[in-house]
Structure formats: structure tokens, C-alpha cells
Structure 1
Amino acid sequence: MQRVYSVFAILLMCVSLAYSWESTARVKFMLGKVERQQKNKTQWDKLRLNSSIYSGDRIRTAGNARVEIEMPDKTVIRIDQNSIFDIKEIKTDKDDGEDKMSFSVWAGNIWAKFKKIVSDRQVRRIESPSAVVAIRGTTLEVNVDKAQTTRVSVIEGKVAVTSKDAKGEVLVGSSQQTIVKKGQPPQKPTPMSSTGTASGASGSLSLKIDRPPLQITDPSLVSGGLHITGKTVPGASVFANGTPLNVDANGRISGRLSVVEGANKFNVKATYQGQSASQKIAVYVNTKKPHIRFSTPLVAGFVNKRGYSLSGAVFDETPLDKIRVTINGDEVANVRGRGSFNKTVILQEGANTIRIVAQDLSKNSSEKTEQIFLDTVKPVITVTEPAQPNFIRLEPPRPPLQQRGDNRFVQIVRGVIIDPAPSSGLKRLVVNGKEIKPNSDGSFEAEIILKRGENRLIILVEDLAGNIARDANRRIIVR
């Protein structure tokens, strides 16, 4: 029985180690509502920027949403809106002893740029309900429609495409595409067109716009415009949202389009001899840093309470942007566009640095830093003269001519103020209501006026952090 438990424990350890060594991908960019269903789970969770993606994860995007995922080998996959995408397997030669990545597109559209395959041990594959795509270092798009028809468009490189339910394989090269219908072999590759149909078969005009980056953070693009390039037939007229683009004698397209902060969508349309083609592109411009405002100003100085409450608001001028707020590395808020934050920072005795950072989806960040000194120790009062708590001073009656001032006497009070470490420094010293400036070593001397009878000696000292010490237990009795 003990051997069974031992074997079971070893198996559990192996599973744990295997999970900890599992290769992961990472979310590099995200726009809109994107959800993830983890392996062996039924619920959908909200996906976040910089999240780790594991083998077995399923990703789905809502309308007007998209997400960009970077694999361990720097392969980039962009999942467009209304798509369902599976990460079936991620294995790297370094961590797993294998170099294999496989994915499934169940619905929607993806764009991917794979690193070049340099060894037969490397396997890269994308499946759909109707097709299997073997990849050897390629930039391509895979689209699956409601009828489970798959369109594979190769922008650069070469792929082998087979059907899941029928025999036959086709090789699709750069600027070519093939269509695989459910239960049928792949169609013969044809030149790509913007609408996903073969330009030779349907007579539609060829148009290919180079995809710009999904997100732009360079402020010069807002003033100078987004540079657009592409390819069409010589002599075609090309417009983007009504703005004309240049087409040279070789059919190369170039031009600049005005962009604004936030989401920008363009419909590029080419016309030639009664034929037309169009292609949609989108970019997200985010050049603005988030703003941080505090409900109360930061106290740049000394405090005497360990709990320092910090609250305020953040906002970003870029539409749909998301802001992450951290205080000393701890996340205190994750808001869309604008929102508030509140945190109580526990200070340590002495100097403390408080660092507030607000960062948006495009890594634009603002930062505020302050030094706060915590001093919770009260100053120590030592009276050296008069040294006794109850000091009796004998003053015999004066001659008749001096009896007018018989009831007023001058008393010298001396002592030392010590401000223990961590010392914030002395702010004020008051002896019987009179403010006294102590010497640099903390010693002080004051004159007070006494009356015949009992006189109370009250000494108050306050440091820069607000700690107050009192000595009100001394009496000077004049007889």
C-alpha cells in the first residue's frame, strides 16, 4: 500500500513539473472583448493584455475585437473579430525536446507570420473544420465561413493544403490562395484578390494592400499621416475613404492617410475598366500618455502615521484605451478610459519612496514619485535646571521701597531635547507659552516669570512629523 502512495506522489510531482515547464505564448495587443476558455474548463474568462497563453486554450473575439498573440519563437498570430481559435499545442525544442505548434480555426479570420522552418523536426500546422495547412515559414491568412469553407491566402512563402475529408494536396505560393469546401479536395491555387475570390476565375480586379501595424504609438503619424502601400493593376484608380492614393506604372500603391487617436478604419477601393475591388484595413492610434490626478496632494515631507492613504483618478484621451495603475508595483486599478484609484500604503520608519505609474495598452506611461519620511517616535525632554520636579525657591520679603515688584521673579530654565532616530527634526519648542529656538545640539535656555506661590512649568516640543511631547509635571514654588 505504501508503494502505491509513493508511486502516486511521484506521478503528481511529474504532472506538476510538466505543467510548470509548459511553453507559453503571450498576448501582445488586444482591442475590444476577447475571452479565453482554458483546457478542461467550460467557463469563459476575460483575456487581458500580457496574459500567458497555454496549450489547450481557446480564444474567441467579439465584434470589432481583435487580439495579437506572440509565440515562444516570435511567431505572431492576429485573430480578427468574430473568430474562434484554438491553441492545440505549443512545444519548443528548448523546454520540451520537441519543436511543434498546431492551431485550429473554427470560425472567423486569422493572419499569421511564422518564422522560417530550418529543420524537419519543426512542425507548424493550422487546422479548420475542412482543411489542414502545413507551414514552412509563411505569412498567410486563414478564413472559415459559416458553411465551414476554408480560404487559405498566402501573402509570402509556401504552404501545403489538404482536405480533412477528401484526398488531394495543393501547394499554395506567395500571392496565391486556395479554397477548401467541406468534404471536397482543395481547389487549384489562384491569384489572390481582395474579396477572397480568384481574380482569373471571376474577373474581379486584383488589389492587395500591405497591412499596417495594428497599433501605432508614434506621434509623428498623427501629424504626418499613415503611410499606405500595396499592389494593383497599372492604370487603376485607388481611393481610401475617398482619399486618392498614387498608383505608379507598375501598379504599386502609395499614399498617406490622416489618422486620429483611437480606432481608425479605412475602406480601400480600386476601379479599372468597369471592374472594382476593395479591402478593409484598421489601425489603432495611441500616442497619448495617461494623466494622473490626486484627490489630495502628495505629502512630500514628514508624517507620523504608518498608513498613508493615496487616492485619485486617471484618464486617457485615446478612445477605448485601457489604463493600468500601480503604486510601488502593486496594481490598484485597471480602468477603461477613465477611473479612480485608492490605496493605503504601509510606510516603514525613515525614508519611503512612493511611485505611481499609469500605463495604457500601448505602453504609454506617466509616473509620479515622492519621498515621504515616517517618524512615529516622540522627542524626549530632559530638564537640567531646575532639576527637581518640585523646586522650592526661597525669596525673603524685599525692603518697603521695592515691594512693588515683590510678586515677580525671573527663573532660568535649561534642558536638552533629543529627537530619536529616525529623526525628522524639531519644529518648535514652547516653554510656558513662549516659543524658544533650541541650539543645534538640542540644548535650550529660557527665562520665565514666576509669582510668589506655586508656578507650573510646562514644556511642549513638536517634531516635523507632528509628534508632540509634553512635560507638565514640574512645579516651582516661590516662598
Structure 2
Amino acid sequence: MDAPRSPRRTVRFLIALAAILSALPLGYFLFLHEPPAAPPPPAPVVPEVPRPPEQAPVARSSLKLEEIHGTVEVRRGNGEWHAVRPGEALHPSDAVRTLEGSYAVLVNGETVEVRMEAGTEVSIEALTDTLSRLMLANGMTTTRVKPGARQTFEVRAAGSDAVARTEGGRFTMSNNGKGTVAVGTQEGEVAFIGQGKVVIVRAGQQSIIRPGRGPSDPTPIPTSLLLKVNWPARPTLTRRQMVVSGQTEPGSHVDIEGQIIPTDDQGRFSKTLPLQEGSNTVRIHALSVGGLRQELKRDLNVDTTPPKQVIVDPGMWNDPRPDGQ
């Protein structure tokens, strides 16, 4: 039989067994245990893109006929021309025209006022709270734009690339419909554009665009308006019509007895004017983009009565005296 173990050996054995048992978890962790998978990296923070503010619909501005004198007509879109009354509203694609001896005033509240002279036609291209644009087909307009109203006003010229633009002031623009466009500024300043050239026409200045050319350099508005007329050499005419011709400043508005006569790029004009039997007073009126006016008149008499026939007494050929006496 084996001898009984001594207590000392028993204590050693128990201590060793305890050490082995305590080392097992550490060994498992170091050699057998698989470390947990690394956590996925955090998702990148994508900055939130602010949504663009919803654009409100473009505000429409109003334009109406405030004052009418004579016959003024409007055309809606591609419709027919018809007479209008004061207070009627105008919209983009509408057109307005003043007949001979007439005028009209268009307004946009207290911001814009446009006066159309006789024989003028404009069409509305744009009307918003920040931009108003008209097309001047022919004739003459005077526009006033209230400064500081944050309103850009443009007038384009039909038959040309000419544009007049202002954000405040008063200016007159004319278009003969054949490429001659003139601008005169009474208040503020106007950008006058054509053929890629831009000039600034300030108060008291005027500029002109001729066919195929850019605007001329601004010049001071003259103190008087040139108006020459080729009157008949004799005050009595034997026909019931006459050719009235003459010359004025290019871009001016010429009115002969209520009839609007277009001028060419040199300011020349010509018109066959009907007359009545007897006394006639012919008046010719010119208006420049600088606001200058000039009028000439002439009293003429028309007498188309044929000359009286000369009655010859047949007896005057019967001389009772003998031949040779």
C-alpha cells in the first residue's frame, strides 16, 4: 500500500491545480478565442442640401388706357382692331394705335406713364413688377418712369435692333418704321442700344440711329427746331392738289393738316395734299424727340375755272374800205 501523502504535498497539489484552472480562461482568450469583428466605420455625414425656395409666379404689372383723345384702337392678340375707351386694361400681346389727330396716355399706377402721339402704334411685350417692355412699330412716344420704383422700362423699335432702356426718367422715342430711330431725354438718363453699341443719353441730350448704324454720340438738344418747306412759287394754284415737301430734324414727327408724314433718315418729307376750291390754309407742324415744336403755315388760293373764251366778231374781217385805201 502506498504511504499516505503528507499534508504539505497535498497543499502544493491544490495550489498547482488552482493555478492551472485559473490560467485556462486566459489561455482560451489568448489562443483560441477569435476577437470580435471590428464595428463598421460610421457612415459619412452627408450635409443636408437646402431646398431651393419655391419660386412664386412672376407678378404681373398692370397697364391701362388712362386718357384718350380722338380715335384710339386696340388689337387683342391676332384679333381685329376695335375702338377702346379710357380705363381698359392692356396685356402682353395687345397692341394700341392712335389714328390721325388722336393721342392716348397709358399708365402703370404711378410708376410709368406713356403718351402716344397721333399716328403711333405700340405693342405690349412684357409686363411684370420689375420689367415693362413695349415695341414701337412707328410714330412717337414719351415715357416717364418714376425713379426708385425698381422698374426697368424698355422700348424696342420695329424694323431695327434699337432699344431704349431706363430705370428712372423721362424720354421721347420716335421710329419711322424704316430703321431711323431717335431718342431725346428730358429727365434722368437712358441707355440707347443698336448694332452692338451703347450710349447713355442724359437729360438735355439726344441721339439717333440710322439704318445699319449704331446710335450717334449724344448731342445737346438744340434750342430751336429746323423746319423748311418748299412752298409754291405763286399763291394761286390751278389744281386742287399740291406736293408739300421739306426737311426737318431727323427723327421728328411731322403733321400736315392732321396727316402724319414720315421723314427719312435725313429728315426729308413729301406729301401730295388735296386742296379745295377757293381759299386754303396749309399748316405744317413738326415735333422733335427733344420736345421742340415748330409750325409753318401758308394761305393758298385754288382757282380751277378755265379762262374765258375770246369771242371774235366775224365782221371784223370784213373791212368795208376798198382795197388799197
TM-score by length of 2: 0.50
The higher relative CO (CA closer than 8 Å, separation ≥ 6) is in: 2
**Greater strand share, 1 or 2?**
1
Query: Which structure's CA Rg is the greater one?
Result: 2
